[in-house]
């Protein structure tokens, strides 16, 4: 007859609870860093486009102001 299977295999790893907790904290810190980097990148992107739009608006305003000055000075 066949023998019954052993209850636990002999090569079952033994986990150190402190190392598991340390790994959880490490992975949580990595996720937080990725999330913070994503927020910072998004904020930098918004700042960039606001500055670009502001500079375009300023250049349009200065162009119109200069055109009016040219018209007034030379009577165009």
Residue 25 predicted with pLDDT over 70: yes
In a domain, 76, yes or no: yes
Number of domains in the chain: 1
Handedness of CA 20, 25, 29, 32 (dihedral sign): positive
What pLDDT score was predicted for residue 75? 81
Within a 10 A sphere around the Cβ of 49, how many other Cβ atoms? 10
The range of the structural domain enclosing residue 32 comes to 18-76
| pLDDT of amino acid 47 | 98
Model pLDDT for residues 26-70, shown as the tens digit of each residue: 999 999 999 999 999 999 999 999 999 999 999 999 999 999 999
Q: And the tokens for 54?
A: 């502001």
**Torsion from C-alpha of 30, 32, 38, 40, nearest 10 degrees:** -120
Residue 31 domain-assigned (yes or no): yes
Per the confidence metrics, is the pTM higher than 0.75? no
- Per the structure block, which two tokens stand in for 53? 């739009």
Mean pLDDT over each residue of the chain, to the nearest integer: 89
Whether residue 58 lies inside any domain: the answer is yes
Task: Judge contact between 46 and 40, C-beta under 8 A.
Answer: no
């Amino acid at each position: 007859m066949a023998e019954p299977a052993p209850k636990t295999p002999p090569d079952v790893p033994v986990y150190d609870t402190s190392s598991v907790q340390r790994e959880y904290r490490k992975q949580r810190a990595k996720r937080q860093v990725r999330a913070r980097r994503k927020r910072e990148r998004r904020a930098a992107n918004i700042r960039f486009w606001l500055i670009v739009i502001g500079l375009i608006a300023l250049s349009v305003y200065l162009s119109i102001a200069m055109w009016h000055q040219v018209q007034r000075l030379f009577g165009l």
